[in-house]
Structure 1
Amino acid sequence: MKKILFLVIFAAFAYSCQQRESPVIFKRYDETTKLKEQQNHESNRMQFKLMQSKYIDMNTVFKPFVDDLAYFSEKEYQELKPLVLEQNIPSLQKSVQEGALSYEKLTLFYLYRIRKFESDSTLSLNSIIALNPNVLKEAREKDQQKENISEFSMFGMPILLKDNINTKENPTTAGAAVLQRNFTESDAFIVSKLKENGAIILGKVNLSEWAYFFCSGCPLGYSAIGGQTLNPYGRGVFETGGSSAGSGVAVASNFAVAAVGTETSGSITSPSSQNSVVGLKPTISVLSRTGIVPISSTLDTPGPMTKNVIDNAIFMNAMLGFDKKDTASKEIKEDYYKNGFKNDLKDKKVGVLKSLLSDSIYAFSVDKLKKAGVEVVELTPPEISFNGFITLLNMDMKHDLPVYLSENAEKSILVKNVKDVVAFNKKDSLLKAPYGQQLFEGIVKDSTTLEELEVIKKNLNSEGKRFLQSLQEQNLDAILSINNYHSGIAAVALYPTLTVPMGYKTSGEPVSLTFIGLPFSERKLLEIGYAFEQLTKVRKMPKNYQ
């Protein structure tokens, strides 16, 4: 009997050993040749000085998951791909409710997929900065609570955060060396709302350092902490867009269900466009900014970045809430997906910019909209002045960053303002600021008074509204732009924008259609965006990440 028991135990042990996958080791690679090739790129911003992070060891990032991933096989990963890749939230929730998928398996799938690509030196995208060490525990807890979950819920959905958004599970670095150990005591307000609605924080993604208001003419998607984020549609060929580069890249590559980006001027629309994903920059005051490393309290907002419009609306609902700590916050009663979206464009009226009709993809899209019944009005907006825009950002950040550092950062962080950060970086600039910190130095030098700043803000707001005046004058549902071409104008006007994949250049570089609407018209933009998405269905996965 003892012998039989021993054999059974031995057989079980042997079986378990056979099932255990070999550990994946992240190895630093020699990037000399690749960097030399990059110096021939036609864009100065793409002539990288480095690619790999000098601060992150991905073996450490993945250490909490080594045992769990050891029993998640390549075979299982391949079997789950049809259930997960490119699927929207309702489809994922349906698979969970039917038992074909679990929140734990979904989370394991993303962890495995991130490791699979990021450990390959020929495919790594440097989009991930940190992973929540508790994420699998949280996913298992969600599996115990999955009864009666709506298909239109963020419950159990693993999402990624741009690394300027506070979450207690990981430090919030803004990509900067000085904030490497910024372990905050509390979550950003929107993160608290996401958790209340059952979303799982998978981790943090890379960004253009300090949300791309740091160095002048430097690569988009570069940060000291995360290294150089790369575009999956053309690794080292196409720009990632910025500053929410990691958010766009991670969503495009199916590294999570969705990601949160932030925008001051184009930082959601740009990377969404460059990575063929859906990005919404809401009206200022719709989503809270508390607990987010700022540039400008005048223009900053977080927003959802997703693979499709339905997910974008569901994601928006999960972040919504009045925040008394954010002076701009408003009580918004909107449900961005209630009763679904109509796949109908016949009663819509949009403005088309004549200056963009020379773009063949834009013109083709406009023609498709016309044939679908959309009333199209060709526009030639007035010339406007953008004087003072950099001053606005300078002075807002000069005043807003110290507030974040005082109220929302880890108490041991020694820097208290922009001037302190500049001094910190000068001690080892090759490591901390290899492309310089010209914009931060400009902030320090700017002596604009608060009274002068208010005049600049009012003038810019007035000019932005003047450019977009046809929205009201001609009762348009939206004005159509390309990528982030007019994001700055929409920003200073305080108008929302929605970017939806529109097509691909002959080179394979993604191009998107951007809908600009009046304040608080997010639901309308999402409805139009959904109908356009269903009409065209152009989004495709990057071919090396399928």
Structure 2
Amino acid sequence: MKKHVLLLVIIILSACKNKQETINENVVLWTPYNDSAEIAANADHENGRMQYKLIQSKVLDKNEVFLPLYEETSKVTEAEYQKLLPLILEQDIFTIRKHIKEGNLTYEKLVLFYLYRIYKYELDNATTLNTVIALNEDVVEQARELDRLNEKGVATQIQHPIYGMPILLKDNINTLGMKTTAGSIALMNNEVDDSFIVQQLKKNGALILGKVNLSEWAYFLCSGCPVGYSAYGGQTLNPYGRKVFETGGSSSGSGTAVAANYAVAAVGTETSGSILSPSSQNSVVGLKPTIGLLSRSGIVPISSTLDTPGPMTKNVKDNAILLSAMLGYDELDAASVKENYPGILSAGLHATPFSEMRLGVIKELVQTDSIYKKTIEDLKEAGATIVEFTPPEVTMNGFLSILNIDMRNDLKSYLKQHANPELVKISSISDVVSFNNLDSLVRIPYGQALFEGIINDSTTTAELEEIKSNLEKNGRTFFDNALDKYKLDAVLSINNYHAGYAAVAKYPALTVPMGYKTSGEPISLTFIGKQFSEANLLRLGKSYEEKFPNRVLPKDYQN
């Protein structure tokens, strides 16, 4: 009798599986379209980097990305989605948690809300940002498990605020269950375990929603090419002006996804400007931390000297929460710090009074940018002490060699430690260059001048160490002359204008929406401080954001 019952169960399960496979085979969520008209329309764009050769990926089938969660997402009705909209859209993490605690929202509904938005906009060729390139197929069930724990009375006061919050990751961050491609076709089969920061996020209860597009190889492949383009994911587009404004790079998908409310928050990475630039271009809050505050293990590298991951969010409060959820000492990262820098989690809740602020303002920016000038006037009127100064002239000689030699060595180490040689057939920069040359139209439509430069760079180890030492000293001189002389809390910049100096100084930088140009293009105010001053920068940013709430949702992504 038991054998017959078991056989019946197997038959039923098999039938269900076959039925589901049939459904998935018959459902076509997305169809490639002819983007030649769009490419032609941008041929005369005043920004040469936006004269695109490709918009769609030639290798990524969005059906493969979106079909696995189609059945779950399709159960959400437009009426149900609209009911959730005011509870979630643009809301900060503490507000969302309050709705869950009060029973107005569940973790499952929170995940399905974001999936609904992603499907709604990303599967429509008229609104797609080419941002989401992978989804966690288990995320809905993982959310349900958190709801079950909630019903059993798991104490919310012992949870990190990131608990249950859906997070998107830049696709150079190793994540179990999803490929980590760095935007390259050479890594499209790169199956890996979790990076250290993803382990920390999961330990704190975050839900990894999926992966987002980026500038291929973190924008260290081609020269003068569009930011936000990768051969694997296609051309990322800016929600404030698709094909009108740049997305910034290289964390392009992280910036656009947060701007369009595709997740609570996203994680980006920066070597020099790759968090600050897309955060500014997409009117979101981005923090590039001090080198060593966050682990880099399991992240496709450019430079072990300058690389760092960092949080990208809709507000300063969430930025502090996401940053704190990734903290931890990683013995596999030589730069990782053991010290526990306090105050980061609470920084987004405790704004610095304007009367206590001492801010350095760069004279040239006051003279050349009207939005920056008006912002400085507003800060002064609010009570901040403003010190205008001209930074010293310092050289950045050898900066490119740091990137060249580090990447030549660090990528080889990453591939050896993390890539499965059965699935990934490259082991060096030279291998990637050769791989790309086999099909230049699909793999490198904008060339690979920077990768070729890596191969040809003859800088010696001794020369490289001298370059690193000189640049770190020069970068710190650029900021410290004013920071020390006038006892400043931070230097104020625009977007990623001074990201290179902050990079070599290994200083943190926080960018917060400052407004919009007459064209509608976002612009941001960037706070730069000394090493491990993240909590202070967040408190400054929180005060500025509260007094001047400049972020506005992109108009085509408000419903």
Tell me the TM-score normalised to structure 2 length. Answer: 0.92
Alpha-carbon contact 2:173-2:300 (below 8 Å) kept: yes
Match of 1:227 in 2: 234
- Secondary structure of the structure 1 residue equivalent to 2:503: helix
Match of 2:548 in 1: 536
- Cα deviations by residue, 1:375-434 (Å, 9 ceiling, x for unpaired): 100010111111111111001101111000000223321211101100110111111111
C-alpha distance in 2 between matches for 1:141 and 1:461: 47
The answer to whether structure 1 residue 177 and structure 2 residue 177 are counterparts is no
Match of 2:247 in 1: 240
Match of 1:513 in 2: 525
Alpha-carbon contact 1:149-1:155 (below 8 Å) kept: no
Match of 1:488 in 2: 500
Match of 1:355 in 2: 364
Match of 1:475 among 487, 500, 504: 487
Task: Name the count of aligned residue pairs.
Answer: 525
The answer to whether structure 1 residue 387 and structure 2 residue 362 are counterparts is no
- Cα deviations by residue, 1:153-174 (Å, 9 ceiling, x for unpaired): 1000000000000001200000
Alpha-carbon contact 1:172-1:179 (below 8 Å) kept: yes
C-alpha distance in 2 between matches for 1:24 and 1:81: 27
Alpha-carbon contact 1:90-1:152 (below 8 Å) kept: no
C-alpha distance in 2 between matches for 1:481 and 1:431: 38
The answer to whether structure 1 residue 165 and structure 2 residue 169 are counterparts is no
Alpha-carbon contact 2:107-2:147 (below 8 Å) kept: yes
C-alpha distance in 2 between matches for 1:370 and 1:148: 44
Which amino acid in 2 is paired with 1:110? Y
Match of 2:344 in 1: 336
Match of 1:63 among 63, 67, 74: 67
How do 1:117-156 residues align onto structure 2 when only pairs under 5 Å count? 117-146=121-150, 147-150=154-157, 153-156=161-164
Match of 1:106 among 100, 110, 134: 110
Give 5+ residue unaligned stretches, structure 2: 1-22
C-alpha distance in 1 between matches for 2:487 and 2:418: 42
Which amino acid in 1 is paired with 2:557? Y
Tell me the TM-score normalised to structure 1 length. Answer: 0.94
Alpha-carbon contact 1:349-1:374 (below 8 Å) kept: yes
- Secondary structure of the structure 2 residue equivalent to 1:280: strand
Which amino acid in 2 is paired with 1:176? S
C-alpha distance in 2 between matches for 1:329 and 1:235: 38
C-alpha distance in 1 between matches for 2:442 and 2:66: 24
Match of 1:403 in 2: 413
Alpha-carbon contact 1:495-1:517 (below 8 Å) kept: yes
Match of 1:291 among 269, 293, 298: 298
Alpha-carbon contact 2:39-2:54 (below 8 Å) kept: yes
Cα drift, residue 211 of structure 1: 0.2
Match of 2:224 in 1: 217
Cα drift, residue 24 of structure 1: 7.0
Cα drift, residue 23 of structure 1: 6.6
C-alpha distance in 1 between matches for 2:537 and 2:421: 41
Which amino acid in 2 is paired with 1:155? Y
Alpha-carbon contact 1:321-1:332 (below 8 Å) kept: no
User: Which segments of structure 1 move beyond 4 Å, counting only runs of 4 or more?
Assistant: none
- Provide the identity percentage: 58
The answer to whether structure 1 residue 457 and structure 2 residue 468 are counterparts is yes
C-alpha distance in 1 between matches for 2:459 and 2:415: 22
Using a 3 Å threshold, how does the CA distance of structure 1 residues 260 and 167 change in structure 2: closer, same or farther? same
Match of 2:308 among 301, 304, 311: 301
Using a 3 Å threshold, how does the CA distance of structure 1 residues 335 and 411 change in structure 2: closer, same or farther? farther
Cα drift, residue 152 of structure 1: 6.1
- Cα deviations by residue, 1:228-260 (Å, 9 ceiling, x for unpaired): 000000100000000000000000000000000
Match of 2:425 in 1: 414
The RMSD of aligned alpha carbons is 1.4
Match of 2:438 in 1: 427
Cα drift, residue 338 of structure 1: 2.9
Match of 2:12 in 1: none
Alpha-carbon contact 2:29-2:67 (below 8 Å) kept: no
The answer to whether structure 1 residue 266 and structure 2 residue 273 are counterparts is yes
C-alpha distance in 2 between matches for 1:411 and 1:141: 35
Which amino acid in 2 is paired with 1:102? T
- Secondary structure of the structure 2 residue equivalent to 1:346: helix
The answer to whether structure 1 residue 78 and structure 2 residue 82 are counterparts is yes
- Cα deviations by residue, 1:202-231 (Å, 9 ceiling, x for unpaired): 000000000000000000000001000000
